[in-house]
Structure 1
Amino acid sequence: MEKQRGFKRLISAFKNSNRALTWLLKNEAAFKQEAWLLLISIPVSFIISSSIAEQLLLISSVVFVMFAEVINTAIEAVVDRVGLEHHELSGLAKDLGSLAVLISLLLCLLAWCYVIVQNF
């Protein structure tokens, strides 16, 4: 099978990404919560920030949490695909993915706290 090139490859990549986003919104509670958080954070960022740079920091910090959740879910899917039996490395992979989400949440919290402290 010949690899797609140019615009067809971009369309195909967009369709694949859209399929993944749809799956996440239907099947991953944490991702759904983070999507709601993003929708809420956008208007709130206009209220609590004093600059476009602060708004970008606030919104991108939430998007970063969503990015970490996507990677974590991908790790979990691969581990589960390999086998559902308990294995130390499988558990470690899942724990590391979870840690990535926790780190992103802490960075998000720090960004929001910084902007709130600076402006209030």
Structure 2
Amino acid sequence: MKNESTGLTRIAKAAGFSLKGLSAAWKHEAAFRQEVIGVLPFIILTFFLDVTSIERILLVGVLGLVIIVELLNSAVECAIDRIGHEFHVLSGRAKDIGSAAVLLTIILAVFTWVSVFWPRWF
């Protein structure tokens, strides 16, 4: 019997699951929607700014990282909520740590943008 989960079939299925995950995050996660709406204008802006290719990659990449970390944080929160909604110190700690990861990524994004443009502004 041929394994149907190899090669292009597996890649197509994985892509489908990824799109399903993005759709679920957009539908169910307000923070994800807010961050996408918040970073999208800045991503578009980078294509109109007088920056080097490397700077553009950094500027867009760090904003993409914010979205990626938010997706991971949302996944952790979903898994914890699946276990139960009653308070447990470890569940709270896991959610807080995920939130901290998002915050640090946002700080990194701000730092990167300021670092790229600081010499041009002052």
**Same structural fold, with TM-score higher than 0.5 when normalized by the shorter chain:** yes
State the one-letter code of the partner of 1:70: L
Residue 114 to residue 49, structure 1, CA distance change in 2 (3 Å): farther
Structure 1 segments of 4+ aligned residues over 4 angstroms from their partners? none
What does residue 17 of structure 2 align with? 16
Q: Return the alpha-carbon distance in structure 2 between the equivalents of residues 94 and 25 of structure 1.
A: 19
- Which residue identity is paired with 2:84? G
> Identity rate of aligned residues, in percent?
35
- Normalising by structure 1, we get a TM-score of 0.91
TM-score (norm 2): 0.90
1:114 matched to 2:115? The reply is yes
Instruction: Identify the residue that residue 40 of structure 1 maps to in structure 2.
Output: 41
Give the unaligned 5+ runs of structure 2. Answer: none
CA RMSD in angstroms comes to 1.4
Which residue of structure 2 aligns with residue 73 of structure 1?
74
How many residues are aligned here?
119
Please report how far the alpha carbon of residue 37 of structure 1 lies from its aligned counterpart in structure 2 after TM superposition. Answer: 2.7
Q: Which residue of 2 aligns with 1:91?
A: 92
Runs of 5+ in structure 1 lacking a partner?
Answer: none
The answer for the alignment partner of 1:101 in structure 2 is 102
The alpha-carbon deviation at position 43 of structure 1 amounts to 2.6
On the 8 A contact 2:43/2:63 being kept in 1, the answer is no
